[in-house]
Amino acid sequence: MTRLLHIVGARPNFMKVAPVLRAGRARPGVEQFLVHTGQHYDAAMSDRFFTDLELPAPDVNLGVGSGSHAVQTARIMTEFEPVLDRLAPDWVVVYGDVNSTMACSLVAAKKGVRVAHVEAGLRSRDRGMPEEINRLVTDVIADLLLTPSRDADANLRAEGIPDAKIRFVGNVMVDTLLALRAKAAASAAPEAHGVAGRPYAFCTFHRPSNVDREDVLGEILGALDDLAATMPVIFAIHPRTRQRIGEFGLERLAARVTLLDPLSYLETISLVDRATLVLTDSGGLQEETTVLGVPCLTARPNTERPVTITEGTNRLIPSRRAGINQAVAEVLARRADGGFQPGRPEGWDGRAGERIIAALVPD
């Protein structure tokens, strides 16, 4: 019997664990536990994803909540240690690049429990991003590095990680996207928001580098409002962004933009699939738009997901009003020429969850 302990904490983890849990259930000799750290705790950031993704209720919820990076990381570590002792797994499986990923990896590695990192090897080379620190730390201590794309393999090798620890498995989030695309379409979110059959833009922004500074957030909101003069702009707002707009008093800047609370997974995919374009700073949306063939403008100076540019629909743009407006105009012109096609990088095929279980559980 192989005992797996899967760790999730924040919104982007949930769509990654679902296909692995499913593949594990289908494999004899696998026993699985799901630990939720409680990094995200609002119904809109967590519970609704469990419903949409048909995830089982977590076996354990550490209930850590929000805090500074140090406080949140320390709380996760303290709360996770006794759970790890009690469940004594063969593997701790961590996902993505959030604080929960790094915190639980550290606890397991120091106890001599093997760590497998799903979505290993991605690098933005920007240590100003908290996620980049989480990726570096997790990858250096993990025993098995399960990579989503070939650039990730190359990054790990360049950092001196031995080949034996690296396993290319493809992009597990795409498993979820392909499995739920039809169900998402049936949720008819464009109809519910009055944009069905019309051009519209969908956007999300939550990176500290974009939303924690008043001037930068003001530039982004200004550009979204400019675009909203020509087509509906639907902005699904992360709690931290909502908080900052309020603190900085920027509501008026985005007067024409439709501001929505965070949406469920199915609503989001339903809206993205039929959008004219997506504007974002999310990691996941860069990948989802590539697979769906929807143009994506990412307001960041770098990306840890370069295949979304070389093989997909993504483009990096400045977080400045004029630069965003120019990029939007270029996308709309290219779209009118039929210029965007779905991209399908190697291993983005809906079978990554099965390959992850095959890597973890010996035959």
The catalytic residue positions are 206
Distance CA 357, CA 352 (A): 9
Residue 45 or 87 with smaller CB distance to ligand UD1: 45
Half-sphere exposure of 348 (CA within 13 A, CB side): 22
Strand, helix or coil at 332?
A: helix
Say if CB 219 and CB 326 are below 8 A apart: no
Residue 243 or 310 with smaller CB distance to ligand UD1: 243
**C-beta of 170: minimal distance to ligand UD1 in Å?**
21
Dmax (CA) for the chain in angstroms is 60
DSSP designation for 56: P
Q: Where are the alpha helices (DSSP H) in 279-348?
A: 283-292, 307-310, 321-336
With CA atoms as reference, report the closest residue to 62 among 30, 38, 27: 38
**C-beta of 199: minimal distance to ligand UD1 in Å?**
27
Residue 263 or 361 with smaller CB distance to ligand UD1: 263
Task: Give the residues lining the site for ligand UD1 (CB under 6 A).
Answer: 10-12, 39-42, 45, 66, 97-99, 130-131, 206, 238-240, 243
**C-beta of 362: minimal distance to ligand UD1 in Å?**
32
**C-beta of 220: minimal distance to ligand UD1 in Å?**
16
Distance CA 324, CA 302 (A): 15
Say if CB 294 and CB 272 are below 8 A apart: yes
Residue 131 or 139 with smaller CB distance to ligand UD1: 131
**C-beta of 280: minimal distance to ligand UD1 in Å?**
11
The contacts of residue 347 (CB under 8 Å, 6+ apart) are: 148, 149, 168, 169, 170, 171, 355
Distance CA 283, CA 272 (A): 14
Say if CB 169 and CB 148 are below 8 A apart: yes
Residue 285 or 360 with smaller CB distance to ligand UD1: 285
